[in-house]
Amino acid sequence: MLPLFQSVLGVTVTGVLAAGAVRAGALTLLAGVVATLFGSFIVIVGGFPYLALLVLFVVASVLATRFRFEDKRRQNVQEGTHGERGVTNVLAHVIVPTGLVAVGWALPASLPTASTAFLYTSALAFGAADTFASEFGVLAGRARSLLTGKVVTPGTNGGVSALGEAWALVGAFTTAVLAGLLFYLFDLPVPPIGTMIFGVTLAGFLGCQVDSAIGETLENRHLLTKGGTNLAAMFLTVLIAWALLAVLGSGLG
């Protein structure tokens, strides 16, 4: 946990960034408030690398959302009315990372710092992979059902394309590399760099596939909302990352 001065600085930075996102139309006002609350907890308990990684994820998501936005609007697959993200979207992507930071702080013997960093990064790697796959994949012009292989309209829940899958891999890999750099610069323990990059990238990419499967089987049947699908897929991504970390020899205990 950060000392008082750094905590105040972290909360201030979080609030300013969230206010900037609201002003820029990237977040609704309520989403900005929620982001400030969760972000403040993350930076106080986890430290600046955790906040920085979350901020980079948000920035990348906004840029991806606004890429060729008018084309997405014409297809009726745009995020929000003007590309803004609401409170449901924010909660779906911040609850799991915040929970990991909280568990790592409260139960360090069960979830060591290096493992917390790995799982936290994997959760955000899924978020980046899913966002990139969605925002760039809908521009591919064609898509197929992940589960049946049938041609579907781009933007359909469960629909994937080669372009979207490639961008999913880019999102997960970039998150892994940036996290490794951030944790190294702040001298925080992480698993071996090979484990970190390979494991996080694979977990994030697989989590993106899980999200598509849940979207096709549950969201299309109105058993889950989009936010519920994202939240469930992120939680399952963390379980995948946990298993990978154990298999790759780093363990969690």
Report the percentage of the chain scoring pLDDT > 70.
94
Q: Is the pTM of this model over 0.85?
A: yes
Residue with tokens 């972000």: 39
- Where do the structural domains in the chain lie, given as residue ranges? 4-247
pLDDT of res. 31:
92
Structure tokens at 209: 């596939």
Q: What is the pLDDT of residues 41-59, one digit of tens each?
A: 999 999 999 999 999 999 8
Q: What is the pLDDT of residues 76-106, one digit of tens each?
A: 666 666 667 889 989 999 999 999 999 999 9
Q: What is the pLDDT of residues 163-215, one digit of tens each?
A: 999 999 999 999 999 999 999 999 999 999 999 999 999 999 999 999 999 99
Separation CA 203–CA 224 (nearest Å):
22
Q: What is the pLDDT of residues 6-45, one digit of tens each?
A: 999 999 999 999 999 999 888 999 999 999 999 999 999 9
